[in-house]
Chain A
């Protein structure tokens, strides 16, 4: 069986159509790309017992969202550790193990949900599934680069585009599956018809057949958050099925089958194979950035070029996360309040969908364009254009607050969409850049180790964004309070300014509430809350620009001997 998966077993025969590798790679990336749809599981996971609304013993939102972070961290770690193994055993073996991990991770996670063991969800989806992500992500990269030495960027762009589009496809499976397996809990009746008691911990109980049983109550405001609409009233805890565990099992099985089929579609070219009529570029000054020599996977870690590319990827991702994290909020808070006739709920939803579309398209278009522009030039464009766009967004937000014109909305829309294409393009172009710098022999493994940059950005990026937002809100509140009459403050909030910190922590004092009592003519600071985030992201891109600009070919002492 294992022989069937080995590298020597999948060497393509003469005349094999290299384009058949692309759908196999795309298939794996579409499956693992569904990780970005994790947030669709959250509303169901926090109602595992209550089903219609959260019960006392249900998991908190914070505890279930950690699963996604664990998966992204293990993506980077597994890709880094298994990269060397990939070069040894070949893509089919790695793709098959990825299928087992990703599909199996869903299964174990499903058992965790069924049994109420959160650690099993972390272990299944987070750790094992995360390893499947890392293995699946790197499995086709070096194979594609070897099949398409003439169009490295386009080839890896096709696969990595799948990772960007996986979440969109998953959206059309996750929600229907949850609804398919959903079973509403036993309905006891309207609140007025049921005798309720409350214990010391705040749990609600109702008497059913002479026995007190825990219940949840669905009020008017809860109906909008129900997965399947139902009547207001009292529901018995533990009598329904939210359907998410069964959805996990089904998705795990589907992903396993697709990924295994895709893995069995992998073929590696015979040693020395090259496309008909194609010759490697000559080693002259014009092609100095495309090496015809290979660097060993471990040796690559001792070259400055590896760390330059690490910075390029990490900071491009961090900056992308920065704008991803605030774009939707900015659209709602700034443009939603200044141009309410245009920016309604439907507009905001379309905007979110467009983020995914442009992110996905950017992966293919920029990576393909890099075959003609050159890798370094492509990143030049990412960083110089990125800095300009990031710096212009605060100006746009300020202008729309002063002069609510649709021009600013169009500019903001276009600027953020270009940024999202470059965010995706940064991911998709990096394997080809690595192949240019380190050669093709160990590119899969080196790419795996470089993915630690993604994991790092995935951890400290959101941390930095959250901190920047808190700093901006705190400064804005302090600034507003300094302009407000202390007596008006006392009257509005029932406490003095000396208790500001406690009032902010309890969300009693917010910017919008302070604006209600601020002197006439006070400028609403909401539009400027994201300025520091955007400027910091521009600075980060500048560091990446320096790292990219100083990229030089690897010193020949690191090259492998033929």
Chain B
């Protein structure tokens, strides 16, 4: 895994993007649970995004940037339509 940054602004953007990426995976994890996709299915689907991210990172920064929105948009098509709030 190698990254090359030419200035501190790029490093800042990298940190922000990494944070957004991890938070979006966590959000998907929670979203899966509130759509009755808990357990194996709910655990595996977000994991696919984690693996995709890891693979993308090994191919370089640009691949990671491309993989994230594709995976994220795909989630909105894959997930069940109805959600509920876990209150008890």
Contact = CB atoms under 8 A, between A and B. Distances in A.
A301 B19 contact: no
B26 A471 contact: no
B15 A301 contact: no
Contact of A460 (B4, B14, B27): B14
A467 B85 contact: no
A83 to B, nearest CB: 11
A311 B19 contact: yes
- Size category, A interface: 35 or more
Given A301-B26, A302-B27, A536-B12, A296 B5 contact: no
A83 B25 CA distance: 16
A456 B18 contact: yes
Interface of A is mostly: helix
B38 interface: yes
A557 B5 CA distance: 43
Contacts of A559: 87
A315 B23 CA distance: 13
Contacts of B22: 310, 452-453, 456
B82 interface: no
Contacts of A456: 18-19, 22
Contacts of B88: 560-561
A489 interface: no
Nearest to B16: A543
A536 B26 CA distance: 26
A311 B16 CA distance: 10
Nearest to A539: B12
**What DSSP secondary structure best describes chain B's contact surface?**
helix
Nearest to B50: A77
B11 A467 contact: yes
Interface residues of B, number: 28
Given A298-B34, A300-B30, A314-B19, A468 B8 contact: yes
Interface in A445-477: 449, 452-453, 456, 460, 463-464, 467-468, 471
Contact of B87 (A296, A301, A302): A296
B12 to A, nearest CB: 6
A245 B87 CA distance: 50
A307 B14 contact: no
Nearest to A461: B15
A299 interface: yes
A560 B11 contact: no
Contacts of B23: 307, 310
A302 B8 CA distance: 32
Given A460-B15, A467-B3, A467-B11, A298 B87 contact: no
A499 B5 CA distance: 21
Interface string B1-39: 001111110011011101100110011011101100010
Given A471-B5, A536-B11, 6 more contacts: A301-B26, A310-B26, A452-B22, A460-B15, A463-B3, A463-B14
12 contacts: A296-B87, A298-B34, A298-B86, A299-B30, A301-B27, A306-B26, A464-B15, A471-B11, A532-B8, A539-B12, A559-B87, A561-B87
